[in-house]
Amino acid sequence: MNTNWKKPLYIWVQLFWVFARIGPSTFGGGYAMMPAIEREVVDKRKWMSQKELADVVSIAGSAPGGVGVNAAAFIGYKKARIPGAAMAVIGVTSPTFIIVIAFSLIYLIFQDSPKLEAALKGIHGAVVALIIMAAYRMAKAAIFDTTTAVLAICALFALLALPVTPLYIVAAGILTGICFIRIKEIAGKKTMTEKPSKSRSGAEPIYPEYYI
Amino acid sequence: MIWELFFTFFKIGFISFGGGYTVIPTIQNKVVAYGWMTGAEFQKAVSVAGMAPGPIATNAVTLIGYDTAGIPGAIAACAGIVLPSLIVVIALAAFFFPYQSNKTSKSIFYGLRPVVTGLIAYAAIHFANFDKLSGYTWMNGFTLLICAGCLVLLAKYKLHPLTVIAAAGAAGIVFL
């Protein structure tokens, strides 16, 4: 009769532990985490199938926030509902949290060192490059017809020229998507809502190629 | 202060589509408006955040929280930006997931993906141009040069982002 409460507790601890170990391996973006998640969740613990994991990735990539955190939340929810999701997210976040605090302390100690200042200026350049790569990869998946191209350009110019917040941009994008596809449908035109993929076969799941 | 940190980043968390990069300009505006950091300090915080594993926005707000109000501030800021992801993912898993292949949801992503592309591109421009006041000094020129070098390493040689970050840090020490 003890198992009634012991079992969920065990799963919560497991979820925390699995993701606490995966968390620090995500240097360089959440998608870097996916092979580790697959190994742990599909191969080792058999919590879900390969196909289910592919669904997880597609949801995780489309929700706001880091894709690794979102994947953890989704897997945790499937395994043990809301407490499971919370445990998985705490698990995936806490190692990074500790590392960031440690970095912060190191930074405070060497704050006035001109060498650190110079290194951070260099890294600033690297971070800009990483963001440009993320934009490029996102563009490859997102832009495949005139409408999507116009939308992307309009979003960028609106952000550069007008005092709009990202929330309105996101809302405008969603609305345009719904309306445009609907109008095209009414007009009887063929609609395509995703980039046509060339080869989706093969066992390897395809992850959208952009970094968190 | 703790509450302000939590709530500010909580609101930002909901719009961080496309990962953390899209909200870096928004975070910067808020942080500067609240007087938690100057623009230059923020840029350094993001650079430090980029070295740690995990989403850059989460790391950056953790640093900002720690800088502003110690460990409680760091926890509040981190929880603030992560919680919306948790809420949205649970909502998606519970209600939306069964309708994933539904036409409406497909049209939503049809429109959402391009604007997220625009948001990320804007984040790159905004973050590259942090030091508007001092203009393009030779320091900035060098940073841009390093940025171009990193792009080559990432796109052509497909190096790991962490390797590129380390190389950029070393290049900064040598050349700046």
Closest CA to B25 of A67, A130, A160, A119: A160
Domain of residue B37, residue span: 2-105
Q: What is the mean pLDDT of residues B147-167?
A: 88
- Tell me if A155 is assigned to some domain: yes
Domain co-membership, A1 together with A14: yes
Q: Percentage of residues in chain B with pLDDT exceeding 70?
A: 90
Asked, for residue B7, whether it belongs to a domain, the answer is: yes
Is residue A201 in a domain?
no
- Helix H or strand E segment including A23: none
pLDDT tens digits, one per residue of A162-204: 888 888 888 899 899 999 988 988 888 777 777 765 544 333 3
Specify whether A131 is located in the same domain as A211. Answer: yes
Distance from CA of A50 to the nearest CA of B (A): 17
Are A47 and A102 in the same domain? yes
For chain A, the distance separating the N- and C-terminal CA atoms, rounded to the nearest angstrom, is 44
Rounded average pLDDT over A106-114: 86
State which residue of chain A sits closest to B170, comparing Cα positions: A119
Asked whether residue B137 is assigned to any structural domain, the reply reads no
Domain that holds residue A35: 1-109
Domains contained in chain B, number: 1
- Domain identity same for A1 and A105: yes
Q: Do A20 and A103 belong together in one domain?
A: yes
Partner residue facing B162 (CB), from A27, A115, A166: A27
Using the 3D structure, point to which of A91, A109, A127 is the last residue of a domain. Answer: A109
Q: Would B80 be classed as within a structural domain?
A: yes
pLDDT number for residue A203: 36
* Beta carbons of A66 and B22 less than 8 Å apart: no
The one-character DSSP state at B137 is -
DSSP state, A206? P
Whether residue B53 is contained in a domain is answered as yes
In-domain check, residue B77: yes
Task: For residues A103 and A128, state if they share a domain.
Answer: no
Average pLDDT of the residues in A29-45: 79
A202 burial type by CB count under 10 A (0-12 exposed, 13-18 middle, 19+ buried): exposed
Task: Specify the length of chain A in residues.
Answer: 212
Q: Number of Cβ pairs closer than 8 Å across A and B?
A: 366
Residue pair B142/A196 in contact by the 8 Å Cβ criterion? no
A117 and A99 part of one domain: no
Q: Judge whether B176 lies within some domain.
A: no
Residues A66 and A87 in one domain: yes
Is residue A199 in a domain? no
Is the pLDDT at A207 greater than 50? The verdict is no
In a domain, A179, yes or no: yes
Hey, is the C-beta of B43 within 8 angstroms of any chain A C-beta? yes
Q: Give the number of domains in chain A.
A: 2
pLDDT band at residue A211 using 50, 70 and 90 as cut-offs: very low
